[in-house]
Every structure is written in C-alpha cells, then in structure tokens.
Amino acid sequence: MKKMILLVIASLFILGCNSKEEKQDIKDKPITDLSIYNLPEKWTNQDGKDIELKELRGKVLVMVMIYTSCKSACPRLVADMRNIESKIPKEYKDKVQLVLVSIDPTVDTPKRLKDFSIENKMTGNQWVFLRSNEENTREFAAVLAVNYKKISPIDFSHSNIISVFNAEGELAFQQEGLGVSYDKTVSKIKEEAAKVE
C-alpha cells in the first residue's frame, strides 16, 4: 500500500509542471515589468543569425509587423518606416533601431527578408528584419496589439501600427493607420533617443 502511494505521488511529480523561472537571466539592470525584453523567444534576422530581443536593449526601437508578399498596405507601411528613418537627426541615428517583424514566417525566410531589404533600400545597420515561428509571432503581435489573420494562402489582413519602444523596451508611442502623419512618431523617437546615454 505504501509503495502504491509513493508511486502515485511520484507520478504526480512527473506529471507536474516544471517552473520556467530559471529562464530569466538578468544581465545588469533588471528588466522592467512592462518591457518587451521579458519575452524570451528567439528570432532570426535577415542574415540568418539567431537573436533574442534582449540584444536590442539600450536602443530606441521603431517596430512594425509586415509580410513581404503583401501588395496593398505593407508597401505604404514600409514607406512610412523609411520616411520616419530619414527624419531621425544624425546624432540619434546610432541610438535607434528600426525593426520589421514578419507575420508570415513560412514565406518570409531570412533570404527573402534579405532580398526585401535590398529591394526596399533598407540595408543599413539601423534596419533589422525578424522572423520566428507562428506561435512566437502571435505572441509578439499580442504584445504590440497588432491583430492579423491569414485570409488566403498568400494574404493576411493586419493592423497598421508602428510602435516606438524606449531603451528599456517599454512601449512609448503607437501610430495607427495608413497615411497618417508621422510627426508625432518622429518627435517621440527623438525624445526617447535623447535619453539614451
């Protein structure tokens, strides 16, 4: 009887869930509660290199979610990103990272992202293109409050949102919609970049 109880208890432990707490490694300063650097997932950039979001910590991030085969809204979002980038004063250029995250990881391979960056003249160090698996992408969209859905084999509908994050990875500003003025976005980027050492 004792043995059976032990066996049952032991099996409960096996079935129980392992705590994931050991995942968090704190580099120097602790990551704040609202920081996107709480997300542990790995991403791949346009050069095929694996990166964690945390590696972007310390810079102001300007982020948008797109897919490269998109014909309607995305080219305009991409143009917005390029325009925003061109408005960033020289002294802040190296304090800002512009990040384009793919919502279509099956089609948007690192090579495809690389080609896209070349076609769209977004090849400088300030540009990062990221992709991950479907699950991480969904989670990241949830953090950005970006909604998206695959509506046909090649098309997605998605929110047109450009987000600005401060050096700690906290959301500082969001620009919503197409063809809206990006003056506010640019001034927020400048404001946050000025705070970066």
Enumerate binding residues for another protein (CB under 8 A).
3-4, 7-8, 11, 16-21, 33-36, 38, 73, 138-139, 141-143, 145-149, 151-152, 155, 157-160, 177-178
| Residue 161 host element (H or E) | strand 161-165
Residue 81 C-alpha from the chain's centroid: 14
Query: Whole-number minimum distance, CB 136 to another protein, in Å?
Result: 11
Burial of 104 (0-12, 13-18, 19+ CB in 10 A): buried
Residue 88 or 100: the one with the smaller Cβ distance to another protein is 100
Residue 79 or 151: the one with the smaller Cβ distance to another protein is 151
Residue 20 or 71: the one with the smaller Cβ distance to another protein is 20
Query: Whole-number minimum distance, CB 122 to another protein, in Å?
Result: 23
**Cβ-count burial 182-195 (b if 16+ within 10 Å, e if not):** beebbebbbebbee
- C-alpha distances in Å from residue 127, one per residue of 23, 26, 64, 138: 28, 26, 12, 22
Residue 46 or 166: the one with the smaller Cβ distance to another protein is 166
Give the other-Cβ count within 10 Å of 133's Cβ. Answer: 13
Query: Whole-number minimum distance, CB 33 to another protein, in Å?
Result: 4
Query: Whole-number minimum distance, CB 181 to another protein, in Å?
Result: 17
